[in-house]
Chains A and B, each alone.
Chain A
Amino acid sequence: MTGWVARRVLQMVPLILGITVVLFAVIQAAPGGPEGALLESGRFIDPEVIEAYRQRLGVDEPIPVQYVGWLGAAVQGDLGVSFSTTRPVAEMILERLPATLELMGASFLLAAVLAFAIGTFSAVRQYSWFDHLGTGASFLGIAMPVFWFGLILQLVFGVWLGWLPVAGRGTVGASGLGDHLLHLVLPATVLSLRYVAGWSRYLRSSLLQALRADYVRTARAKGLPESVVVGVHGLRNALIPVVSIMALNLAGLFSGAVITETIFAWPGIGRMFVQAMFARDYPLLMGILLLGSVMVVVFNLVADLVYGLLDPRIRYE
C-alpha cells in the first residue's frame, strides 16, 4: 500500500511538469499581452512606456526562455511576482485561500448533507412524490444559471426582506462570527445548489442499483432491519461512484468559484483569477492554475484511496 502511494506520487512529478508546459503555452497563446491593461483605462499612453513595461516584465523574451525562467524559480518555491500588483504570487494566493476554502468548504458541507439526504430518500422511496419533486428540483438546480439565481436571492433576502447582506465577506468594523456567517449564507447556498443537484442524482441511481443487488436481498432475508440494509449494505456500496465525483469536485475547492465570487463580491481565488486573466498577469495565472492542477492530481489519488476504505475488494499493491 505505502509503496503504491509512493509510486503514484512519483508519477505526479512528470505529469505536473507536463501540465505546466501546456498551461504556459496556452496562457501565452492568448492574443494580447499585459500591456493591454495599460490601455484598458482609455487614457493616452506614451508608446515608449508600453515598450518599457513589456521589457520590465520580461514578456519581450522568447516564450521558451520565459518558461525556463519561471520553472527554475518555481521549483525553488518562488512563483514570481504579479505583473499588476508587484507582489509575490504565492503571497497573493495564500491571502485569498482562506476566503475560498471557507466558501467552498461551507457549500460542500451543505451540498453533501442535502445530497445524501435527498439521494437516499429518493432511492428508498422510488417514484414517490418526494422522488419526483427531488428529480424536478435537481434538474432545476443543474439548469439554473448561477448569476441569475444569485441575483434573485440577493433581491429577495437582501433587498426585500433585509435578512441577509447582499455582498461582501463581512461588515467593515464588525468582527463577530455571526456577521461573518450571515455573509456566507447566500454565496454558499448558490454554490451548493449545483452540487446538491448533481450528487443527489448520482447517489439515487447508484443506490437504486445497489438495493437490487443479491447481497441486499440476502441482507433482507437475514431479517436485518431496513435501516441497516440501506445504511450499511446499500449506501456503502452505492458511494463508490459518488465519491470519485466528489473528490474531483473537491479539487475545485482551491481554485474558487468564479461567478459566485464575483456576484457576491467574495474575496476568493476565482475572482482574482478572472482579473488576472483580463490583465494577462502571467505569473499570477500560472500560480493559480498550478495550484488547481496539483489539487486535481492529488484528489484523484485521494479518491482512489477512499475506494479502498469503502470497498474491501479493492486492494492496492
Chain B
Amino acid sequence: MTRLRRSVPVCALALLAACGGGDGGPEAAAGTASAGEARSPGILRIAYDREIDVLNAFTSQNLVDIQFSMVEGLVTTNDRNEYVPVLATEIPTPDNGGVVENADGTVTMTWPLHQGVRWHDGEPFTSADVCFTWRFVTAPGSQVYNRHEYLGIVDCATPDEHTVVFTWDGPYGYATGLFEAMLPEHVLGDLTAEEIVDYTPYNRGEALVGTGPFRFAEWRAGEYIRVVRNDDYWRGDSLPAIDEIVWSFVPDDNTRFNALKAGQYDWARILPTQVDEARGLDGYDVFLVSSNSFLHFDLSLNSDNARALFSDPAVREALFLAVDRAAIADQLMQGTVVLADSPINHTSPYHNDDTPGVPFDPDRARAMLDAAGWQPGPDGIRVKEGRRFSFEMLNRAGTSDRIAVAQVIQAQLKDVGVEVTFQTLESAAWTQRWRSGQWEAMVSAWFLPADPSVTGLYACEGSNNMTGFCDPELDALMERSDRTLDPARRKAALDSVQVAVAGEHRFLPLYFNVVPELVSTRIEGHRGSGTNFGSFWNLWSWRLR
C-alpha cells in the first residue's frame, strides 16, 4: 500500500471557519499498511491528551468535550464565543419575549424545546428532564463546579412537554449560558444527588443515555472511549455523517504528534512549538484556535512585602510597562498567540476594542519608579526606606509555557531595577498556596466560559479573587453588568468594566493561549472553539471524506 500524498493549504488563522477546503484528491490514505490499520472511512480517530475521569458532564473535573458527542444541553458555544441553541429551538431574550422581568423583581425565562427528541434508549426527552437536571445541579450534594450560578432559579415549571419555564429571583446576565448538558430523569430519577455523583454505570457510560448524535459504545480503561452513530438522531436521518468516533488517550505531547505524522489519528491538540513543523505535514490542516485561556501576570496585596511594593498603582503600572509582551508573544510563543488587553477574548462580542493596552516602555517605567521614590541601590535593585524592590513569583511545575513567560518577566524587570525570585511548586501544592493567598506574584491562566462576566475574578469577595485587591466602585460596575439581561446594555456595562479593570493595573494581561489543533483533511465541518466546551460542539455536522 502506498501512502498517497498531496499538498494541502494550511489554515493558520484563528478560527478560520472556511478552512479544510481542498481539491478533493484521493483520500483515506493516511494509514500505515504495515501497522495493520484497515481504515474504514466512517471512523474518526482522535488522539486525546488524557484519560478523563467520568462521563457525567456536570461532575467531571476535566474539561468536558468528549461528553458532548453523546449528551446535549439547551445551548452550546460556537467558534465565535456565542451561545447557540441545541435542544432549545431558540435562546430566550427580552427581544423575543422569552425573558420577562416581572413586577416583583423576578424574571421569567421560557425555553421552547425541540419536538421529537428521544434519548438513546428511545424514551422521549421532555421538559421534565430539564427540571430534573435543574434539581440535580442545585442539590447541595451535586458538586457541580458552577452550581452557584444555577441557584438564582427558584422555580422550574413545565406547562407542556416542550416548554420549560424558569423563574429567576432576579436578572442574571449569564442565565442563557447554563444547562450545557441534560440528565435523563427516567434513568437517574430514583437516585439522590449524591448517588448520581457516585453512580458508576452512568459515569462509566453503560447507563449513559443522551440525546446527542452519538451513543456510548465502549470505554477501555487507559486506552480509549468509543461512541457510535445514533441512528435515531433528532436532527434527521442523514445525521450524523460519521459512523464511529474513537478518542484514544495519548498523554505524551511528542507521541501524539508522532502518531499523527504516522497517520494513526485524524485529530489532536498539539503544542504551539509544534505548529511550524505541523504546517509542513501532508494530509493535515493546522487550526490555531484562539482559546479563552487567558494568561496574565498577577500581583497580590497578601503579604507585608507585597503591600509595601504594590499598593501604589503607579508602581504597578511601571512594572507592567517594563514587560515586553510582544516579544513574549512573537518569540516565546512563536507568534501563535493573540496579545490580550482584557480578560474577554477578542473573538467574543463583548470584548471592548477601546480597552487601553500596556505599551512596552522601560524608560518610562524607570522614570515612574524614580518618581515613586524607588531609587537604585548599590546592587542595582531599587530601594525605598530600607526595603529592596524584591518579590517572589510562585510558579506551577509542569506549566513550561508559563514558567518561560515568568523568566522573561524576571529578566525584564531586572532591567528596571526590580528583583524577582522564583518558587516552583507541584500542581496541587501550587493550588493550595494560591487559594490560601500566601503568594506575592504569579503568572496564571483562566479558562473563561463564553459568558463574559469577570466578577468572580475581580470582585472584593470574588470566589476566584485571591489577590487581595478590592475596589467597591469596580464591584458596583461588575454587579450592574451581571444583572443586565439586555445584551446591548450588558455590553455597554462590560465595556466600562474592562476599561476600569485595565486602569487599575492590578494584573498585566499577557495573551490568549492558542490551542493548536491538527486536523486531518478528511474532516469537513470542523470549526474549532476557544471556549471551555471545546471543538466538538458541532460534531453532528462533521463529515469524513
Contact = CB atoms under 8 A, between A and B. Distances in A.
Given A32-B427, A46-B145, A84-B53, A167 B259 contact: yes
A222 interface: no
Interface in A178-210: 178-179, 182
A75 interface: no
Given A86-B198, A164-B35, A42 B145 contact: no
B259 A166 contact: yes
A31 B63 CA distance: 24
A17 B294 CA distance: 47
Contacts of B36: 165, 171, 174, 176, 178-179, 182
A127 interface: no
Chain A CB count within 10 A is highest, among B45, B146, B255, for: B255
B454 to A, nearest CB: 10
B218 to A, nearest CB: 9
A265 B54 contact: no
Given A179-B36, A265-B249, A43 B427 contact: no
B179 to A, nearest CB: 16
Interface residues of A, number: 68
Interface in B223-258: 223-224, 226, 246, 248-252, 254-256, 258
Contact of A49 (B144, B220, B256, B435): B144
Contact of B532 (A41, A84, A86, A279): A41
Contacts of A167: 248, 250, 252, 255-256, 258-259, 264
A56 B143 CA distance: 10
Contacts of A267: 220-223, 249
A267 B426 CA distance: 24
B541 interface: no
A168 B248 contact: yes
Nearest to B151: A46
A169 B428 contact: no
Interface in B423-470: 425-433, 435, 445-447, 449, 456-457, 463-464
Chain A CB count within 10 A is highest, among B50, B51, B447, for: B51
A87 B200 contact: yes
B274 interface: no
Contacts of A96: 221-222
B445 A42 contact: yes
Contacts of A46: 145-149, 463
B251 A268 contact: no
B140 A52 contact: yes
A106 to B, nearest CB: 17
Nearest to B431: A36
B427 A171 contact: no
A112 interface: no
Given A32-B426, A42-B445, A172 B203 contact: no
A45 B246 contact: no
Contact of B62 (A35, A41, A86, A155): A41
Given A151-B258, A182-B35, A265-B248, A275 B428 contact: no
A174 B33 CA distance: 13
Contacts of A40: 61-62, 427, 431
Contacts of A36: 427-428, 431-432
A85 B219 CA distance: 13
B448 to A, nearest CB: 8
Interface in A21-55: 30-33, 35-49, 52-53
A154 interface: yes
Interface in B144-171: 144-149
B262 interface: yes
A49 B376 CA distance: 47
B204 interface: yes
B96 interface: no
Given A36-B427, A52-B141, A166-B259, A44 B223 contact: no
Interface in A42-92: 42-49, 52-53, 56, 81, 84-87, 92
A18 interface: no
Interface in B386-439: 425-433, 435
B143 to A, nearest CB: 5
B68 to A, nearest CB: 15
Contact of A42 (B255, B430, B447): B447
A162 B3 contact: yes
B331 interface: no
A95 B259 contact: no
Contacts of B200: 86-87
A268 B259 contact: no
Given A48-B148, A86-B200, A278-B427, A158 B262 contact: yes
A278 B259 contact: no
B339 interface: no
Given A36-B427, A159-B262, A162-B33, A172 B255 contact: no
A248 B135 CA distance: 54
Contacts, number: 216
Contact of B204 (A87, A151, A165): A87
Given A32-B426, A40-B427, A168-B248, A99 B143 contact: no
Contacts of B252: 147, 167, 262-263, 265
B43 interface: yes
B143 A49 contact: yes
A50 to B, nearest CB: 8
A170 B50 CA distance: 17
Interface in B18-77: 32-38, 40, 43, 45, 50-51, 53-54, 61-63
B194 interface: yes
Given A48-B148, A87-B200, A262-B251, A53 B262 contact: no
Contact of A45 (B54, B145, B262): B145
A176 B251 CA distance: 25
Contacts of A151: 254-255, 258
A284 to B, nearest CB: 11
Nearest to B433: A31
Interface string A232-243: 000000000000
Given A33-B428, A46-B147, A168 B61 contact: no
A116 interface: no
Chain A CB count within 10 A is highest, among B32, B428, B431, B433, for: B428
B293 interface: yes
19 contacts: A41-B62, A42-B293, A43-B449, A45-B146, A49-B145, A151-B258, A154-B259, A159-B258, A162-B35, A164-B34, A167-B255, A171-B37, A172-B246, A264-B255, A265-B259, A267-B223, A275-B51, A279-B53, A279-B61
Interface of B: 3, 32-38, 40, 43, 45, 50-51, 53-54, 61-63, 140-141, 143-149, 194, 197-200, 203-204, 220-224, 226, 246, 248-252, 254-256, 258-259, 261-262, 264, 293, 425-433, 435, 445-447, 449, 456-457, 463-464, 532
7 closest Cβ contacts across the A-B interface? A267-B222, A32-B428, A36-B428, A31-B429, A42-B447, A162-B32, A166-B259
Given A85-B53, A95-B222, 11 more contacts: A32-B428, A36-B428, A40-B61, A42-B447, A45-B463, A45-B464, A46-B147, A158-B259, A165-B259, A165-B264, A169-B223
